[in-house]
């Protein structure tokens, strides 16, 4: 299990060491890839403290600077989008282990909260189903 960091050519030199999870996504993750399929990857990182303390502008995701179709989300952005039931975040949280390319103990702690995500999604669906369509 390893992610090829040569596919990132952006200027955030801290990104490789602060990324807690990377995985295959798209057709390769779903087994629908063909000979001409591109490589897709998604991940999660923890930004340096300067981004949290206000010294630098905020950062939510890194989707530029890749030679493949990739995107890495900042951890708090992952949580915000998960609360909104964003399907991309739900996919990240429940990616099959065979598609993991990079995983740290920090990501394993995040995965420990997946049952809370299950409950949140169920309650949101129930709330939506019980709404008066008026």
134 in any annotated domain: no
Domains: count for the chain: 1
Residue carrying the six token digits 């600077």: 65
Examine residue 111 and state whether it is found in any structural domain, yes or no: yes
> Which residues 6+ apart lie within 8 Å of 117 measured at CB?
82, 90, 93
Q: What is the 3-state secondary structure (H, E, C) of 75-105?
A: HHHHHHHHHCCCHHHHHHHCCCHHHEEEECH
In a domain, 42, yes or no: yes
Q: Whole domain around residue 28: which residue ranges? A: 5-129
- More confident call, 72 vs 29: 72
On whether residue 70 sits in a domain, the answer given is: yes
Instruction: Give the integer Cα–Cα distance in Å for 93 and 21.
Output: 10
Q: Residue 33 is part of a domain; what is its CATH number?
A: 3.30.460
Domain membership flag for residue 98: yes
Segment 44-95, tens digit of pLDDT: 999 998 888 877 688 999 999 999 999 999 999 998 898 888 888 988 998 9
The answer to whether residue 64 is domain-embedded is: yes
Residues whose CB is less than 8 angstroms from the CB of residue 120 and which lie 6 or more positions away in sequence, other chains included: 82, 83, 85
């Amino acid at each position: 299990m390893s992610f090829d960091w040569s596919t990132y050519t952006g200027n955030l030199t801290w990104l490789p060491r602060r990324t807690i999870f990377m995985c295959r996504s798209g057709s390769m993750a779903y087994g629908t890839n063909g000979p001409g399929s591109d490589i897709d990857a998604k991940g999660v990182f923890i930004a340096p403290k300067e981004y949290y303390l206000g010294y630098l502008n905020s950062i939510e995701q890194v989707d530029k600077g890749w030679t493949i179709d990739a995107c890495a989300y900042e951890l708090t952005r992952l949580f915000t989008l998960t609360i909104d039931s964003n399907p991309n975040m739900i996919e990240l949280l429940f990616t099959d282990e065979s598609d993991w390319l990079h995983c740290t103990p920090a990501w394993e702690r995040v995965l420990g909260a997946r049952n809370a995500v299950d409950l949140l999604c169920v309650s949101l669906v129930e709330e939506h189903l019980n709404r008066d369509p008026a």
